[in-house]
Amino acid sequence: MKKIAIIMGSDSDLPVVKKAADTLEAFGVPYEMHVYSAHRTPVQARDFSLNARSNGFGAIIAAAGMAAHLAGALAANTTLPVIGIPMKSGTFSNGIDALLSTVQMPSGIPVATVAVDGAVNAALLAIQILAVTDSDLAAKLDAKRAADAEKVLAKDAALQ
């Protein structure tokens, strides 16, 4: 099975990003987690993304706030799917700045973008990408969706 990379721009992102790691673990998906900054460690970020495919990765999750260039910087150097998690910061607008920075990529360099602090959905999207060619993962995703639906229906039944 291919691995998922989880890259965060700062270790201050770890409390949110850990939710992605926990989700990958729950599905038995291997991952590596690193701190690379698009601005402070651009050479290391570039080298990681240039070599990600040959190092066994199937997708990259990138979490960054404020300028939020990390996902785009990684995507510029790989054709693997990159999933951006815009992060809230105390500086400005509750993460909307990071959301806009992450989602507005130039034509030809796509970044799939989830909600602000949307680490669980980033992990689930990465799992869905791997599940295109992995029927066991696809079955686990189907089971999760069914269990989630049952929880909602149970709450509905409790109201009746």
Q: Is residue 50 part of a domain?
A: yes
- Residue closest to 65 by CA, chosen among 105, 31, 38: 38
Q: Which two tokens stand for residue 60?
A: 């990259």
Count of beta carbons in the 10 Å neighbourhood of residue 82: 30
Q: Is residue 158 part of a domain?
A: no
pLDDT value at position 92?
67
Report how far residue 70's alpha carbon sits from residue 86's, in angstroms, rounded to the nearest whole number. Answer: 10
Stretch (H or E) spanning 39:
none
Q: Is residue 64 part of a domain?
A: yes
pLDDT value at position 67?
84
pTM of the model: 0.95
- Residue closest to 85 by CA, chosen among 2, 160, 10, 1: 10
Domain that holds residue 119: 3-134
Q: Is residue 67 part of a domain?
A: yes
Q: Is residue 147 part of a domain?
A: no
Q: Is residue 95 part of a domain?
A: yes
Length of the chain: 160
Q: Are 11 and 40 in contact (CB under 8 A)?
A: no
- Residue closest to 8 by CA, chosen among 94, 77, 98, 78: 98
- For 24, the 3-state DSSP assignment is helix
Domain CATH code at residue 55: 3.40.50.1970
Distances (CA, A) of 141 to 15, 33, 80: 24, 22, 21
Q: Is residue 148 part of a domain?
A: no
Domain count, the chain: 1
Per-residue pLDDT tens digits for 4-63: 999 999 999 999 999 999 999 999 999 999 999 999 999 999 999 999 999 999 999 999
Q: Is residue 129 part of a domain?
A: yes
